[in-house]
């Protein structure tokens, strides 16, 4: 290292940033949640702080935004308009580097550490790198499952984690911030009243710009969210925001008990690199009663059908045959053993989609587990019609508290915004909320187009595992 390179390089924290900087960089704090207003320098603190940490401990470090294309635009390729220099060059001077890989958005330092930009939509892709520190930028907009997946790795490595962003309603970002406030971790909320970033005239101009772009109601709400860190502001572009808000206001997000006198249905959205999401529901007196939810990534069918049955299931391909073995109850989901299933509804591509070495379609594998007559394919209607069907269904739906993760995800389901035209597109944004939302959409399609009451009357009798013994010959042939 050259003697004139002192880190942080040509930078020091502003007054209002020093408390967080001291906790994390000076004192070695492990977990900080920073809800700071827009343009308060959150990422600058994170970049310069990571540079210091990378030279204190030789390890791998990540900087994550919700999507990989976002992190390239906002961090890797971004230029500081005040200096005309790239942000990464300011925080990580080239004199400190041994390699810079643009394709991977990775910097290797001469000291041996690495720093990499990633999207939390594909955090699994770099598993094995064992990071010792992660900055989660725009955390309220990120996939919350990344936190549960990565925290054990950081704990094992005695690493640190920093979560930064502005609110997006009372979603997972709100909950993790409140949890940090109740613990010994560092939690800080800074609005424009707590910093000296803007004058009153500049704030008025910013507010007017939001109003001119989005209209009075949404523009004001977004301004309060971005600059006053309001958790109460509406989620801009939310697809089912009004329906879900009404559902909560009317007390229909509540405790919903399983009724053993009625069959339980499931609706799935199946992904491999994306998440697989499952909703459990009953239809009673023309009311949709959603009683359970589950989502995960990078799992085989064995895992998901185990979740459905509440018992350990193994699916093996022996020659050209599929063999299924069912084991003991799984304690944390043993309540699902009591569900008497009607039909498991899969997306239309389940007929052709396969899982890795299994070699058989998802539909065929599910036939072997649940029985031929107990697996259905959701009608292949347009996404727009499915979204509208969901709006109608939500008016007569109750959702159990157990479904909190799914409920919060569908709140965040929103239309993509066109920055060039300054308006929302007709297509939903594909992000971490899409899979739970698609599975809910399939629930609505089944409810509207497949007459659930009729389905209930024609479901074959099932044994304890949800497999139809009487139909065994049919589903083995299929």
Average pLDDT, the chain: 87
Q: Which two tokens stand for residue 16?
A: 């209002």
Q: Tell me the chain's radius of gyration from C-alpha atoms.
A: 25
Q: Which two tokens stand for residue 110?
A: 């001469």
- Arithmetic mean of pLDDT, 38-57: 97
Q: Which residue has the higher pLDDT, 333 or 448?
A: 333
Do 328 and 427 reside in the same domain of the chain?
Answer: yes
Instruction: Give the pLDDT confidence score for residue 458 in this predicted structure.
Output: 39
> Residue 8: inside a domain, yes or no?
no
Do 318 and 424 reside in the same domain of the chain?
Answer: yes
Instruction: Give the pLDDT confidence score for residue 477 in this predicted structure.
Output: 25
Do 123 and 214 reside in the same domain of the chain?
Answer: no
Do 176 and 210 reside in the same domain of the chain?
Answer: no
Instruction: Render pLDDT for 352-391 as a digit per residue (tens, 0 to 9).
Output: 666 544 567 788 888 889 988 899 999 999 999 999 999 9
Question: Cα–Cα distances in Å, from 25 out to 56, 161, 210?
Answer: 10, 12, 35
Do 208 and 333 reside in the same domain of the chain?
Answer: no
Do 154 and 117 reside in the same domain of the chain?
Answer: yes
In the beta sheet, which residues pair with residue 100?
107
> Residue 4: inside a domain, yes or no?
no
Which residues fall within 8 angstroms of residue 53, CB to CB, at 6 or more apart?
Answer: 25, 61, 133, 160
Which of 247-251, 357-361, 419-423 shows the lowest per-residue confidence on average (mean pLDDT)?
357-361
**Last residue within a domain, chosen from 209, 236, 263:** 236
**What DSSP string runs through 295-327?**
EESS--HHHHHHHHHTEEEEEEEETTEEEEEEE
Q: Which residue has the higher pLDDT, 233 or 476?
A: 233
- Arithmetic mean of pLDDT, 154-162: 95
Do 354 and 317 reside in the same domain of the chain?
Answer: yes
Question: Cα–Cα distances in Å, from 264 out to 20, 319, 337, 453?
Answer: 49, 33, 11, 12
**CATH number for 364:** 3.30.420.280
Tally of structural domains, the chain = 3
Do 255 and 222 reside in the same domain of the chain?
Answer: no
> Residue 5: inside a domain, yes or no?
no
> Residue 445: inside a domain, yes or no?
yes
> Residue 3: inside a domain, yes or no?
no
Do 206 and 323 reside in the same domain of the chain?
Answer: no
CA 295, CA 276: separation in Å to the nearest integer?
A: 6
Do 232 and 188 reside in the same domain of the chain?
Answer: no
**CATH number for 119:** 3.40.50.300
pLDDT band at 469 (very low <50, low <70, confident <90, very high): very low
Percent pLDDT > 70 in the chain is 90
pTM, full prediction: 0.74
pLDDT band at 452 (very low <50, low <70, confident <90, very high): low
Q: What is the dihedral of CA 417, 418, 419, 421, to 10 degrees?
A: -130
Do 77 and 142 reside in the same domain of the chain?
Answer: yes
Do 175 and 277 reside in the same domain of the chain?
Answer: no
Which of 55-64, 172-181, 383-392, 461-470 shows the lowest per-residue confidence on average (mean pLDDT)?
461-470
- Strand ranges inside 330-403, DSSP E: 341-346, 375-377, 397-400
Quote the longest CA-to-CA distance of the chain: 80
Backbone angles phi, psi at 190, to 5 degrees: -125, 120
Residue 422, pLDDT > 80, answer no
Residue 100, pLDDT > 80, answer yes
Instruction: Give the pLDDT confidence score for residue 448 in this predicted structure.
Output: 87
> Residue 209: inside a domain, yes or no?
yes
In the beta sheet, which residues pair with residue 315?
324
pLDDT band at 331 (very low <50, low <70, confident <90, very high): very high
Instruction: Render pLDDT for 181-214 as a digit per residue (tens, 0 to 9).
Output: 999 899 999 999 999 899 999 999 999 998 998 8
Q: Which residue has the higher pLDDT, 3 or 440?
A: 440
Instruction: Render pLDDT for 64-98 as a digit per residue (tens, 0 to 9).
Output: 999 888 999 999 999 998 899 999 999 999 999 99
Instruction: Give the pLDDT confidence score for residue 445 in this predicted structure.
Output: 95
Instruction: Render pLDDT for 279-310 as a digit per residue (tens, 0 to 9).
Output: 999 999 889 999 999 998 878 889 999 999 99
CA 95, CA 92: separation in Å to the nearest integer?
A: 8
Residue 463, pLDDT > 50, answer no
Q: Which two tokens stand for residue 429?
A: 């944004």
> Residue 68: inside a domain, yes or no?
yes
Residue 58, pLDDT > 50, answer yes
Instruction: Give the pLDDT confidence score for residue 126 in this predicted structure.
Output: 59
Q: What is the residue range of 93's domain?
A: 15-194
Instruction: Give the pLDDT confidence score for residue 232 in this predicted structure.
Output: 81
CA 433, CA 435: separation in Å to the nearest integer?
A: 6
Tokens 């790239």, located at residue: 86
> Residue 1: inside a domain, yes or no?
no
């Amino acid at each position: 290292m050259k003697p004139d390179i002192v880190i942080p390089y040509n930078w020091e924290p502003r007054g209002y940033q020093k408390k967080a900087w001291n906790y994390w960089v000076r004192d070695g704090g492990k977990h900080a949640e920073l809800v700071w207003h827009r343009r308060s320098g959150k990422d600058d603190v994170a970049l310069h702080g990571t540079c210091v940490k990378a030279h204190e401990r030789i390890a791998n470090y990540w900087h994550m935004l919700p999507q990989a294309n976002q992190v390239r635009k906002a961090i890797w390729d971004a230029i500081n308009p005040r200096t005309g220099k790239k942000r990464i060059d300011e925080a990580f001077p080239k004199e400190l580097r041994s390699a810079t890989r643009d394709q991977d958005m990775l910097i290797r330092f001469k000291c041996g550490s690495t720093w990499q930009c990633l999207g939390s939509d594909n955090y699994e892709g770099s598993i094995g790198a064992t990071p010792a520190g992660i900055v989660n930028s725009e955390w309220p907009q990120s996939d919350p499952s990344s936190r549960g997946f990565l925290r054990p790795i950081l704990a094992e490595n005695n690493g640190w984690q920093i979560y930064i962003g502005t609110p997006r309603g009372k979603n997972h970002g709100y909950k993790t911030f409140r949890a940090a406030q109740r613990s010994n971790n560092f939690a800080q909320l800074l609005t424009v009243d707590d910093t000296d970033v803007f004058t009153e005239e500049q704030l008025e101009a910013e507010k007017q710009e939001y109003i001119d772009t989005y209209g009075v109601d949404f523009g004001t709400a977004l301004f309060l969210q971005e600059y006053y860190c309001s958790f109460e502001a509406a989620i801009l572009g939310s697809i089912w925001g009004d329906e879900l808000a009404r559902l909560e206001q009317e007390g229909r997000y509540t405790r919903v008990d399983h009724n053993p006198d009625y069959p339980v249905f499931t609706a799935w959205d199946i992904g491999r690199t994306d998440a697989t999401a499952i909703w459990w529901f009953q239809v009673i007196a023309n009311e949709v009663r959603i009683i359970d939810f589950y989502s995960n990534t990078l799992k085989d069918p064995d895992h998901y059908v185990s979740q459905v049955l509440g018992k350990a299931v193994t699916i093996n391909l022996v020659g050209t045959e599929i063999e299924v073995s069912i084991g003991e109850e799984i304690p944390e989901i043993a309540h699902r053993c009591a569900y008497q299933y009607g039909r498991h509804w899969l997306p239309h591509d389940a007929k052709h989609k396969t899982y890795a070495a299994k070699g058989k379609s998802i539909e065929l594998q599910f036939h072997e587990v649940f029985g031929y007559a107990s697996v259905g394919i959701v009608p292949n209607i347009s996404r727009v019609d499915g979204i509208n069907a969901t709006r109608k269904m939500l008016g007569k739906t109750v959702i159990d508290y157990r479904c909190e993760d799914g409920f919060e995800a569908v709140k965040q389901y929103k239309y993509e915004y066109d920055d060039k035209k300054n308006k929302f597109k007709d297509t939903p944004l594909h992000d971490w909320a899409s899979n739970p939302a698609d599975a809910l959409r399939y629930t609505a399609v089944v409810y509207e187009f497949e007459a659930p009451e009729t389905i209930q009357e024609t479901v074959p009798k099932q044994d304890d595992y949800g497999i139809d013994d009487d139909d065994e010959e049919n589903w083995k042939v299929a």
